[in-house]
A and B are shown apart, each in its own frame.
Chain A
Amino acid sequence: MAEEELTVYVVDDDEAIRMSLSRALTTRGYRVDVHASAASFLTAFNPDRYGCLVLDYGMPEMNGLELQAHLNKIGSDLPVIFITGHGGVPESVQAIKGGAVDFLEKPFRQAALIERIDAALEIARRQQAARQAGQQRREMFNRLTARELEIVERIVERPAETSSKEIAAYLGISPRTVDHHRARILEKLGLRSIIELIAIARQ
């Protein structure tokens, strides 16, 4: 599975800032998508595409904080870097609580921004990777039978009661049958021990 190219989204109502950031980031080799308003960004935004958002705090209609809240609501984990002219403590606290990667006060050095962008993109990359790994596991778990899944869920739920006897008592089947299922599960998932299974299932 190839790693998709990451995008730096820029949302600012000030054209001069949009243009300057777009130009700077493009020159530095980033893939940039600029928007003048939150609404414009939301229309174009695809949650399956990874990257980061450079978001102006004060904007007409939907401001930066509101956009962040909206993204959280729709389940997007897009890393957000706030840029603001206000630089007030209450605003920055709120932004960070909302999950912002960072909060830059205008005017800022480009190097500082690039640093934050790179950091955010790293997060995005990890997100992407984790998501790909999760995907593989989901595919593996899909190979399990219903009884086998039932047993995995019981194990993950009660890691302290993983003996075949205990599970058999829970399910009302023979311990030997449980042993058989356990072997089949480890085989199907390519795992060597129940400990490993619990770790994977909890990711």
Chain B
Amino acid sequence: MKTSLGLLLAIGLAGLQFLAVLVVVSSSYVTSEQALIRHARDLLSDVGAGTIEHARSFLSPAEGAAELAARLAQNRVIASDDPDQLEQLLFQHLLIAPHFAGIYYGGENGDFVMVMRAPEGPGAFQTKVITHENGVRKVELIWRTTGFREVKRELDPDDPYDPRTRPWYQMARDQRNTIWTDPYIFFTSQHPGITLAAPVRESGQSTRNDRVVRGVIGVDIEISRISDFLAGLKIGTHGRAFILNSNGDVIAHPDKELLRIRKDDGSLRFSHLAELDDPIARAAFGGLLSDGQVHVAEETKTQFTYNGARYVGTVMPMGSKRLPWTIAVYAPEDDFTSVIKENRKDNILIAALVAVITGVSGLALAHYIHKPVRAFAIRSALISQGEVAPNAPMPRTYQELERANEALVQQIAARRQAEHEYGRTFELSSLGMAQLASHCGAFLRVNPRFTEITGYTAEELQGLTMADLGTGDVSVIWPVQADGRRDFAVNRDLRLLRKTGESIWVSVNGNLIRDGNGNALHVMLTIDDITATREKEARIEQLNRDLSHLARINTMGQMATGLAHELNQPLTAIAQNADTALLLSNLEDSDGTELRVVLQEIERQSLRAGQIIHALRTFIRKDEGARVGFDIGELIDQTLHLLQAELADTGVLIDRHLPVDLPQAWGNRVQLAQVMVNLLRNAIEALAAEEDSERRILLAATASSGEITIMVQDNGPGMPANLSPFTQYETTKRGGMGLGLSICKSMVETNGGRIWYESAPGRGSTFRFTVPCTPIDREGGKGEA
């Protein structure tokens, strides 16, 4: 076992556990984070809305107060030219609206009454009254307590104040409507504020077209309180909300100090957003500015990164035409998500811890599971080595392993049986068997029969190879080819030398044996002593040759008369020509020309006689068994020479069809001549039995696909259908032995050809046989004789 099952289990379990926790943690973290951020945005939205609400509720009383005062004055409930009444009215308003810094009335004639808070003066409130009685301008300052008790009164003739020159006055008068000024820093209190102005029209005029403004009621509202409100808001831990005017001025901010910037002339103004000392705000909302103006049409949520931390932000318009303000809120995400980030770290730690615990438990569990498996493995190994009996009791184990054990036990039993049988087969085989080393061919194991055949003992054979038992050629055909890569098989006959020096023939069959993975194990060799068989074959072959020779001699005996006649023909011609020559040589008037012709004819006929004798001798010659290439046409002519007499006697005509381009035939000339003589004589004899008919034999040869087919066809009576002419002792001839065609068949087949026939009673017989054109290795892989 390459990797311990236990370790694998432990690591696997721990890893899986860790992974699972990690996935859950990450998933819940992501989900929570998204929920929290959504929540943060909602919170910012709420803050914005709250701020708007707050600012409205903060400012609307001023509007109400100013308009109430204006209407009172307008309807002359309070005489606007009575500074005492006016002061009292204004004082009451101021008293109930703590965020009012001051409330005042300016008349068209330049009169002015203002009540304002004066926390640093002798009383809590200060009143400034400017009157013009009889063209005399009088400026009087009065300090009062909360209970309207006069504390101090003095004149200030140096005060040049004229309400009609103030912007709030002019705006309200021009627009004839309640107006809000832009926020600004109050000169006296140096706090940011805003002024609301409502015009006081002439009473009694019902139409609005002709409104004559008599004066303007103004309210100063300190908006520091809005900043205080903002400072009191809890937006996460570090979140902030502030208010921008449409011109980009920051008019409310939790840090009030940031709002004011002192100008060169010592007066104060609002910080512009672009110069606000709150870099996060600048980064968040700087993009809202264009041409120094702020344009926000609707609530917009943003997300941005500042200094590596991520923030969420929201801007929303105030939604009031007269107060073109924008509420801006931002907060770092961490304010909302830091808790779960902390929690995430804890979770990962917990996951790691759980993984370690799981790993340890896994090890223990694996050990528990693995122990019987290991015991089983060891036991299996021992059983396979034969050190423990397969039916020995099993250690404590599982049901599954018990089933595996049963299968194993059965397998082992079957294998032992097979091995036993193989061993018996090997030892008792009637064939010589040997295992050879696949790499060098050395004998590893031999059976008794092998030692019997070779004459060597098993010990003597150790380390020898087949080549050592060979007779020379063995080393050529028995190189150690089984290098394990190529397949190796041998199946052939070899000559071996026994230990005694006796030469024997064995048939050898060898195969490379491989294991299941294709690795060469050894070469399995079987040998069989075929010396006796070989000798028997040789004897049979010799007998066959003798038989065919005898048959030939017999044939010649039968043909002797005819052959004598055939030889007599040229001899007759020679005798006649010789006499004629003698006669001519005695004639005195002969010029010798005719004599030469006659002598030439004598020569020709002598050669003819010689050819007949040659054919005869070739035919009778003892068969040497040699196969050679030869001209089949020549052989056919020689055969016809031998049969010429019989043909003539029986009046049989031969139609000889031999193509001029016949290839060479390959075989034993004598045997094939014998076949042809036999077939032709059979045909002649068949025809001779027929009375009064044209007797013809068609003798033809054709070449195709590497062999020559020779046909002998007669127009004789044919053979009965139930005859097997190639079988010995079957014959139609009176006095025939029935050997001719059976010998023909064996001779044709010995020469690598086939012989067959067609015949039907009354329609003649056709015999065909083939002769190969090229040498054929009839003996296949067998060794040479």
Contacts and interface: CB of A to CB of B under 8 A. Distances in A.
Interface of A: 13-14, 16-17, 19-21, 23-24, 27-28, 58-63, 83-86, 88, 106-111, 113
11 contacts: A14-B573, A17-B576, A20-B572, A20-B573, A27-B580, A27-B583, A59-B651, A62-B651, A107-B571, A107-B574, A113-B576
Interface string B559-577: 0010011101111111111
Given A20-B577, A109-B579, A110-B575, 20 more contacts: A16-B569, A16-B570, A16-B608, A17-B573, A21-B576, A24-B579, A24-B583, A28-B583, A59-B648, A85-B568, A85-B569, A85-B572, A85-B645, A106-B568, A106-B569, A107-B568, A107-B572, A107-B574, A107-B575, A113-B576
Contacts of A20: 572-574, 576-577, 580, 601, 605
Nearest to A83: B572
A24 B573 CA distance: 10
Closest 3 CB pairs of A and B: A85-B565, A110-B579, A20-B576
A63 B649 contact: yes
A115 to B, nearest CB: 13
Q: Range of interface residues on chain B? A: 20 to 34
B19 interface: no
B598 interface: yes
A108 B572 contact: yes
Nearest to A16: B573
Given A14-B573, A85-B565, A85-B568, A19 B601 contact: yes
Contacts, number: 91
Contacts of A59: 648, 651
Contacts of A86: 561, 565, 649
B97 interface: no
Given A63-B649, A83-B572, A110-B579, A27 B584 contact: yes
Contacts of B652: 60
A17 B572 contact: yes
B653 interface: yes
Contacts of B442: none
B601 A109 contact: no
Contacts of B575: 107-110
A83 B594 CA distance: 25
Nearest to A21: B576
Given A16-B608, A63-B649, A24 B569 contact: no
Interface string B539-577: 000000000000000000000010011101111111111
B647 interface: yes
Among B573, B594, B647: residue with most chain A CB under 10 A:
B573
B645 to A, nearest CB: 7
A16 B597 CA distance: 13
A59 B649 CA distance: 6
Among A63, A85, A88: residue with most chain B CB under 10 A:
A85
A111 B576 CA distance: 9
B390 to A, nearest CB: 93
A16 B601 contact: yes
A108 B578 CA distance: 12
A198 B605 CA distance: 58
Nearest to B651: A60
Contacts of A109: 575, 579
Nearest to A23: B580
A19 B602 CA distance: 11
B402 to A, nearest CB: 99
Given A17-B569, A58-B565, A106-B569, A24 B651 contact: no
Contacts of B694: 61
A108 B574 CA distance: 10
B573 A110 contact: no
B577 A60 contact: no
Contacts of B647: 60
Interface in B620-652: 645, 647-649, 651-652
A20 B694 CA distance: 30
A24 B564 CA distance: 24
